[in-house]
Amino acid sequence: MFENLSDRLGGVFDRLTKQGALSEDDVTAAMREVRVALLEADVSLPVARSFVKAVTGKATGAAVTKSVTPGQQVVKIVHDELIKVLQGEGEPDALRIDNPPAPILMVGLQGSGKTTTTAKLAKRLKDREKKRVLMASLDTNRPAAMEQLAILGTQIGVDTLPIVPGENAVQIARRAKQQASLGGYDVYMLDTAGRLHIDQVLMDEVQAVRDVANPRETLLVVDGLTGQDAVNVATEFDAKVGVSGVVLTRMDGDGRGGAALSMRAVTGKPIRFVGLGEKMDAIEVFDAHRIAGRILG
């Protein structure tokens, strides 16, 4: 995902570390290149700007430029700022799934990987946390999507709410809640319908479902390959339905990585997981340290 950015930054920092003594102008010139590399990775302009400003402020002081290894110190500053921009201040939260049955609302555009991610997370909760999970598809417009969740459920050994033709999304959500309580489930996951674009009908439906389920977590699934669009989608969903965290899918692809770098700073919402492929185990907790390491090579 971050290959180009990583190559570009690698080039800049190689030169800096080989150079020995550094002047303020050297640092400023290097940071100009960093800014271009970030923009080419589809990082949003305000984020790239404030990133470079923060690094420059810390890296042009005498403590760095007059030190024995100024280049390495600049790289360390960049590393720390990357972590800050990726995850904000503080460490990430775990999913709030106490007080069973805990509802998790899954939202996002069609094709973002929502159904796949629902199943991946359900499997993770079952395997790692020994939770009993119930999944329900609310995508009444696309029977194939409902079938898809049922098939995935069978594949991973997680129950799905039986499909009752003719029900609307709110009715399904009510039935899922009831079934989760009666059946002694720890968690129930509601895989809402997606549309190709955000529209009022979609948002009204998600809001109605949210009001019925009162979710502990509302996870927005967005396609990491779509860069700044992914961030715009997150901003809109958060304004309309409130999002507690983001899952970035297709981080195994050759996208430029800008969505990961801009998401937290622009939306204020944490990235909780990243999708790394089509298989049911291809999901990881979002780890800013690991990603910063990957970016800096």
Where on the chain is the footprint of ligand GDP (CB under 6 A)? 108, 110-116, 194, 249-250, 252-253, 275-278, 282
> Among residues 47 and 107, whose Cβ is nearest to ligand GDP?
107
Asked whether residue 120 is marked as a ligand-binding residue, the answer is: no
Asked whether residue 65 is marked as a ligand-binding residue, the answer is: no
Asked whether residue 294 is marked as a ligand-binding residue, the answer is: no
> Among residues 17 and 141, whose Cβ is nearest to ligand GDP?
141
Asked whether residue 182 is marked as a ligand-binding residue, the answer is: no
> Could you tell me the end-to-end alpha-carbon distance of the chain, in angstroms, rounded to an integer?
12
Asked whether residue 248 is marked as a ligand-binding residue, the answer is: no
Q: How many CB atoms lie within 10 A of CB 203?
A: 17
Asked whether residue 272 is marked as a ligand-binding residue, the answer is: no
> Among residues 153 and 275, whose Cβ is nearest to ligand GDP?
275
Least distance to ligand GDP, CB of residue 101, Å: 22
In angstroms, the CA 265 to CA 232 distance is 12
- β-strand partners of 187: 102, 133
| C-alpha torsion angle, residues 147, 153, 158, 160 (rounded to 10) | 0
Least distance to ligand GDP, CB of residue 278, Å: 4
Asked whether residue 154 is marked as a ligand-binding residue, the answer is: no
Asked whether residue 111 is marked as a ligand-binding residue, the answer is: yes
> Among residues 60 and 118, whose Cβ is nearest to ligand GDP?
118
> Among residues 74 and 251, whose Cβ is nearest to ligand GDP?
251
> Among residues 188 and 273, whose Cβ is nearest to ligand GDP?
273
Kindly list the strands in the beta sheet with 283-285, ordered across the sheet, starting from the edge strand earlier in the chain.
Answer: 159-160, 133-137, 187-191, 102-108, 217-223, 245-249, 271-275, 283-285
> Among residues 167 and 252, whose Cβ is nearest to ligand GDP?
252
Least distance to ligand GDP, CB of residue 34, Å: 28
- β-strand partners of 191: 106, 137
Residue nearest to ligand GDP (CB): 275
In angstroms, the CA 47 to CA 227 distance is 13
| Nearest CA among 152, 109, 119, 102 for reference residue 283 | 119
Least distance to ligand GDP, CB of residue 197, Å: 13
Asked whether residue 251 is marked as a ligand-binding residue, the answer is: yes
Least distance to ligand GDP, CB of residue 250, Å: 4
Least distance to ligand GDP, CB of residue 97, Å: 21
Q: Hey, what are 196's tokens?
A: 């190709």
In angstroms, the CA 92 to CA 98 distance is 17
Least distance to ligand GDP, CB of residue 60, Å: 40
* Binding-site annotation, residues: 108-115, 191-195, 249-252
Known binding residues for GTP are 108-115, 191-195, 249-252
